[in-house]
């Protein structure tokens, strides 16, 4: 919608706020799931400090290298999680759009204009309403309770990195857990842990179960996200296409899509969850 319609529709610029954050969805289920994510990573840290590193003196090089790797993956995974959770996914400002106003706007525009009945705002192309966030999200892929946020135009990079680093962390924990278990059995559970054999066995079994489960889940999600970005089709659009609903839109080159999501030409910034992307709300926002 052109800028000369600025006085036609009033838009509320407020954010979804919670816990003092500019953007944080106050969904109870999402907060619990996000907390569980942190708990599982912290549990891995407990296993590392109380079981894995207990045999450090005998295997200094091996244990030091894998300790540093585990800390690196954990830091990157949790940083990606925080950025995904607290970054505006591309929410459309709420409005006060009436049917009469919509008709006047459509008469002045050459394009089809849509209204979200729940947000009472203009609905950009490829935006979808999220009932949890209570906003329309531009290029919304899905709402993920594990990050307590929608995955959309503004935070998809961070979500992809979150799945990648959780998968790497899980695969690393899987290897290290098996290595430690074999070591403990070989040494008849002497000096390989801060706990006795029963407690050590239970801790390692739970760690391995967690690692297998989340490595499979996040690797599948990571592959799905990369495929979605490359094909320029979100999960919602893919689902609607399967149901025979028209989801035609101009698709761009797959490599350009990756550059748009990750913030420019390929560089190490693609893998850095703390590096900001070139995405700006103002370049995609309706001026109303």
Residues annotated as part of the active site: 144
Q: Is 134 helix (H, G, I), strand (E, B) or coil?
A: coil
Rounded-to-integer distance, Cα 12 and Cα 98, Å: 14
Nearest to 40 by CA among 74, 17, 12: 74
Report how far apart, in Å, the C-alpha atoms of 146 and of each of 30, 37, 184 are: 6, 7, 34
Phi, psi (deg, nearest 5) at residue 146? -70, -20
Counting DSSP H helices and E strands in the chain, the numbers are 7, 8
Q: Is 182 helix (H, G, I), strand (E, B) or coil?
A: helix
Rounded-to-integer distance, Cα 91 and Cα 134, Å: 9
Phi, psi (deg, nearest 5) at residue 140? -70, 130
Rounded-to-integer distance, Cα 180 and Cα 68, Å: 16
Report long-range pairs for 52-57 (Cβ below 8 Å, ≥24 apart). 52/176, 52/180, 54/191, 54/192, 54/193, 54/194, 55/180, 55/183, 55/191, 55/192
Buried b (16+ CB within 10 A) or exposed e, 204-230: beebbebbeebbeebbebbebbbebbe
Residue 102 in contact with residue 115, Cβ under 8 Å?
yes
Quick one: how far is CA 13 from the chain centroid?
A: 24
């Amino acid at each position: 919608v052109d800028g000369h319609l600025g006085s036609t529709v009033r838009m509320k610029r407020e954010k979804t706020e919670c816990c003092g954050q500019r953007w944080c969805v106050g969904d109870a289920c999402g907060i619990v799931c996000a907390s569980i994510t942190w708990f599982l990573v912290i549990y891995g840290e407990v296993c590392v400090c109380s079981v894995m590193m207990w045999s450090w003196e005998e295997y200094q090089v091996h244990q030091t290298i894998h300790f540093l790797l585990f800390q690196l993956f954990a830091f990157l995974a949790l940083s990606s999680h925080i950025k995904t959770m607290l970054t505006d996914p591309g929410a459309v400002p709420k409005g006060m759009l009436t049917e009469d106003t919509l008709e006047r706007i459509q008469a002045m525009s050459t394009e089809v204009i849509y209204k979200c009945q729940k947000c009472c705002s203009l609905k950009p192309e490829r935006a979808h309403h999220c009932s949890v966030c209570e906003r329309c999200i531009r290029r919304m892929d899905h709402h993920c309770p594990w990050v307590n946020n929608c995955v959309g135009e503004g935070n998809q990079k961070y979500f992809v990195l979150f799945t990648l680093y959780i998968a790497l962390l899980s695969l690393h924990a899987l290897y290290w857990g098996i290595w430690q278990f074999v070591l403990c059995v070989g040494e008849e559970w002497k000096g390989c842990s801060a706990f006795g054999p029963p407690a050590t066995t239970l801790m390692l079994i739970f760690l391995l179960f967690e690692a297998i489960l989340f490595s499979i889940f996040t690797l599948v999600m990571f592959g799905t996200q990369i495929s979605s970005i490359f094909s320029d089709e979100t999960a919602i659009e893919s689902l609607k296409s399967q149901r025979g609903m028209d989801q035609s839109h101009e698709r761009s080159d797959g490599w350009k899509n990756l550059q748009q999501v990750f913030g420019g030409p390929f560089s190490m910034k693609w893998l850095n969850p703390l590096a900001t992307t070139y995405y700006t709300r103002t370049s995609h926002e309706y001026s109303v």
